[in-house]
Structures are given as structure tokens and as C-alpha cells.
Amino acid sequence: MAFQTFGGFTSGLGIRYAESLLTNPNHQHLAQNIPIGQRLPPRPLLRAADCLPTNLHDLLLSNNRFKLLVFTGNTHDPSQIPKIHEFARELMTSPGSFFAGFSSEEAMRAVFDIVSISSEKKETIVYNALPRILWSHWSNQIRI
């Protein structure tokens, strides 16, 4: 009974961080199933490049880099691709972007790991169709 009551705390999943620059809930409506400021629960996924099942936590290695999870939606939808390209362009060129201070993509990748997550079907997904900046390594391209 005690584990059921306090399981969220002991596993780390029930901890919710106070509002800050990193945990700003202003856009919670965009990701209703992912509570801002709370650890992501384990989630089975398929890697897009080889369709091997993996777990989201297995892709988020503890390697002293910040993790940027990009939820690309259904990349098979032609209307979604321009939005993804615009996001990638803004990410790298906008003066307000946290990537703007890096001198090169290589310097940025020394600090950040990018994991792109798509809702496209495994039969139609093309893992390298995303803008280059949104893929760190083929093993980090996944679909839900």
C-alpha cells in the first residue's frame, strides 16, 4: 500500500518542479499528456531507421548534454513538413533561440542531444526527411 501511495515519489515520476524559465506552463495546452515540470514516464517507441522497439528513457542518456525532444507530428502529412522546416530554421537563426549563441552546429551538438519523435506510421516514415538539425543520430529518430 505504501509503494502505491508513494510510488510516484520513489520512482521520480511524481516529482513536479516549481515554475521557472525551464518549466514554464504557459504552453501546457500544446502537450496536454506531458506535464511540464514533471519527469516523462517510460514509453515504448519504435526507432524510425530500423523499426526496433526501444524505450524513451533509453534514448535520453546521462551524458552531460541537455535533451531537446522535438515532437514533429505526422511527418507523412504534406502540410506538416513546411512547419517542421520553419521550426528548424527558427531554431538555428532566430536571435531569441537558445541555439543562436553557438558558433556552429558542431558546437551546439556538444551541448544538446536532439531526439525527434513522429506519429507517422512505421511503414511510411523516412527518418532522414527531417531537416538535418533535427537529427543527431539515426538511432534517435523515433515514432510513437
The total number of structural domains that make up the chain: 1
Does residue 30 form part of some domain? Answer: no
Q: Are strands 141-143 and 44-47 parallel, antiparallel or unpaired?
A: antiparallel
Does residue 8 form part of some domain? Answer: no
Does residue 104 form part of some domain? Answer: yes
Does residue 16 form part of some domain? Answer: no
Domain range for 103 = 42-143
Q: What is the pLDDT of residue 87?
A: 92
Does residue 134 form part of some domain? Answer: yes
According to DSSP, residue 47 is labeled E
Encode pLDDT of 110-136 as tens digits: 999 998 888 888 888 887 788 988 876
Task: CATH number of the domain at 64, please.
Answer: 3.40.30.20
Does the pLDDT at position 95 exceed 70? yes
Residue 2: in which H helix or E strand, if any? helix 2-11
Work out the average pLDDT over 4-29: 74
Nearest to 48 by CA among 112, 115, 113: 115
Does the pLDDT at position 6 exceed 80? no
Work out the average pLDDT over 66-81: 89
Pairwise CA distance, residues 42 & 46, whole Å: 13
